[in-house]
Structure 1
Amino acid sequence: MGQFCVYKNPNPITRTQYPYLLDIQSDLLSELRTTVVIPLCPSKTVASIRLSRLNPVFDLDDESLTAMTQDIAGVDRLQLGSQVYDLSSYRSDIIAAIDFVLSGI
């Protein structure tokens, strides 16, 4: 598991709306049982409510996914599905979205 890696959402209740979870927690805290994630959802379902700085968009394998940063959550690491993407190349966009939630800047 690594920071900025994307995992399949194993939860059958939320999987349709949020098929993927982006792990944003520092690797320095990898010994903790829980990790902090941002749900990712298909961009076509949130286009009208999206804020560009708060909700960065990632185009992955012909699918556009939007980070729902305002829906940050903690999850048990053991409940994460399999890793499917690494978004570390989008680090600055992800950090900017988190900063926007915390500071409004």
Structure 2
Amino acid sequence: MAQFTLYRNTNQQTQGRYPFLLDVQNDFLDALKTRLVVPAINLSGQKPITHLNPVFEYEQQQYLLVVQEMAAIPATNLGAKVTELAALRSEILAAVDLLISGI
């Protein structure tokens, strides 16, 4: 598992709304059985909150990261690796910081 890797959501109850999950947990903690993830939703019809919902493109569609819905899930629930979003590292960490500290 690698930090800022985007995975398919394998949960049948949530994958319709959240097709992807972004692993934001540091690799140093790989021994844990859970991973902290940020769900991603299709941008179509959604309005991102400035600085809280980074946007990315995958297969010519735009998605937004719903940082305010972060959750820990069992690592075994992560599906296939889709892509890396390490290029958005600063935006993602700033969004998490905004959620926690308000700054």
Shorter-chain TM-score range = over 0.9
For residues 36-79 of structure 1, the C-alpha deviation after alignment (integer angstroms, 9 at most, x for no partner) is 000000001422xx212000100122010100000000000011
Is residue 2:97 matched to residue 1:96?
no
Match of 1:76 in 2: 74
Larger helix proportion of the pair = 1
Match of 2:59 in 1: 61
Match of 2:24 in 1: 24
Partner Cα separation in structure 2 for residue 22 and residue 53 of structure 1: 17
Give the AA of the match of 1:39.
P
Secondary structure at the aligned position of 1:35 is classed as: strand
The two structures have a TM-score, normalised by structure 2, of 0.97
Is residue 2:33 matched to residue 1:33?
yes
Unaligned runs of 5+ in 1: none
Aligned-pair Cα RMSD in Å: 0.7
Secondary structure at the aligned position of 1:15 is classed as: coil
Unaligned runs of 5+ in 2: none
Match of 2:15 in 1: 15
Partner Cα separation in structure 2 for residue 52 and residue 58 of structure 1: 14
Q: Sequence identity of aligned pairs in percent?
A: 38
Larger strand proportion of the pair = 2
Kindly tell me: are residues 45 and 19 of structure 1, through their superposed partners in 2, closer, same or farther at Cα, counting changes over 3 Å? farther
Deviates more, 1:24-33 or 1:59-68: 59-68
Match of 2:46 in 1: 46
The two structures have a TM-score, normalised by structure 1, of 0.95
Partner Cα separation in structure 1 for residue 15 and residue 76 of structure 2: 16
